[in-house]
Amino acid sequence: MRQQVAGALGSDVGEPLGVAVSGGSDSVGLLTLLNEWRLDGGPELRAVTVDHGLRPEAAKEARAVARLCDGWHIPHTTLEWQGWSGTGNLPDAARRARYGMMAAWATKAGVPSIAVAHTADDQAETFLMRLARSSGLDGLSAMAPRWQQGGVTFLRPVLGVTRDELRSLLRARGVGWFDDPTNADPAYERVRARQVLQALAPLGIEAETLGDVARNLADARRYIEAQVALAAQDVARIEAGDVLIDRSKLSELDPEIARRLLQQAILWISGAEYPPRGPALKRVMRGIDAGDSATLHGCRFLIRAETLRITREAQAVAGLTARPGEVWDGRWRLSGPAMEGAIVAALGENGLKHCPDRQNSALPAASLRASPAVWQGQTLVSAPLAELENGWSVELVRRENHDFAALISH
């Protein structure tokens, strides 16, 4: 099992390697395997526990994890979340907070990657939950073995290991764990999925079975994504942050390839975590065929005779600010002379009026209104994309997990 985990992480895993440990059997099992690998020449480890503050037992469990790590000479940090408002989707809010806090911790601690203990059981439970939502190929495909967040790589090295296998390992090593009572509460969707999985076992539908199905679907998804990449290279190009697509070539693509191509462009421009809903995107696609401009998911679709231009919607960035040198709207960085009180914000209609050379820009007015500019109070200082530089420069930076530009250049 240790060799399986080491192989899943790969030879290029950064050091020190972070490991998320809640105190449950999955994460303690992962920590045990990684520690044995460390003692046999593997990477140094840094453990992190997030106390969500939602159960009185959580603090005690975090202290127990700290003691275990201390005994194994593994540095350990507990992060405390106090951001729950009491409303909304608690599991989703806790998940977002957990990964955000761990990414921030890793960046500060110089930890390039963090291993998390998603198992074959988690894979199967997720498959069932998404099946209940009528998910398509993307939703039913296997969990990604790695992903980026906040500049940190998160890794899932035990996706091929079951929960029972990890518990058997811990029993053999004499290592204890904590059982979270919420993992038996049917009020949670994942618990209900776990119960359904147990009921399906007599039919031979087990975690390993659904994991195989998910991986088969992931293979099909990768093939389709490769076709999307080929299509993107042929029909699309980037112009100052906008995506330009040849309309005639787009119309000749398979509808699913065309849909995914537009979806990727939308995600890259908007920075949204999730793509637009299928019916909404299909309406826009019908409008493109008919020559109708539209807005969707923080993007504008501008129709020209031969070209579809996808740009940022000005309303989506109204009020969004950053300091010079920081990334604005997830894609733009403006740099220039030191200037007290300067901020980066959208150019807008008012700013566009103060750009006398804007006609020299390759971008239309709709794109320029949503472009980054430097302001000092109500005074426009610079709008590089609108040909008003004043010593400032603009850089289009890579958007994490949504790099459409790289898709085109492959």
pLDDT for res 409: 57
Reported as a single tens digit per residue, the pLDDT across 318-343 is 999 999 999 999 999 999 999 999 99
Q: Answer whether residue 408 shows pLDDT above 80.
A: no
Asked if residue 26 belongs to a known ligand binding site, the reply is: yes
Average pLDDT over the chain, rounded to an integer = 93
Strands (E), 260-350: 294-296, 299-303, 307-312, 327-328, 332-335, 342-346
Per-residue confidence band for 92, with pLDDT thresholds at 50, 70 and 90: confident
Asked if residue 371 belongs to a known ligand binding site, the reply is: no
Count CA atoms closer than 13 A to 303's CA, side-chain side.
Answer: 15
Mean pLDDT score, 178-202: 91
User: 198 and 218 share a domain?
Assistant: no
Asked if residue 24 belongs to a known ligand binding site, the reply is: yes
Q: Please tell me the total count of domains within the chain.
A: 3
Domain edge (last residue) among 205, 226, 248:
205
User: 283 and 351 share a domain?
Assistant: no
Mean pLDDT score, 153-168: 96
- Find out whether 292 and 279 touch, Cβ atoms under 8 Å: no
Residue 223: domain span? 214-314+402-409
Per-residue confidence band for 410, with pLDDT thresholds at 50, 70 and 90: very low
CATH number where 129 lies:
3.40.50.620
User: 176 and 34 share a domain?
Assistant: yes
Domain edge (last residue) among 205, 224, 253:
205
pLDDT for res 53: 84
> CA torsion sign, 181 to 184 to 186 to 189?
positive
pLDDT for res 396: 94
User: 102 and 10 share a domain?
Assistant: yes
Per-residue confidence band for 38, with pLDDT thresholds at 50, 70 and 90: very high
Q: Answer whether residue 378 shows pLDDT above 90.
A: yes
Mean pLDDT score, 72-95: 87
User: 231 and 294 share a domain?
Assistant: yes
User: 306 and 319 share a domain?
Assistant: no
pLDDT for res 278: 87
pLDDT for res 155: 96
Asked if residue 393 belongs to a known ligand binding site, the reply is: no
Q: Say what the alpha-carbon torsion angle 57, 62, 67, 73 is, to the nearest 10 degrees.
A: 170
For residues 108 and 90, give the distance between their C-alpha atoms in angstroms, rounded to a whole number.
27
Task: Describe the crossing of helices 120-132 and 189-200 by its angle, rounded to 10 degrees.
Answer: 100
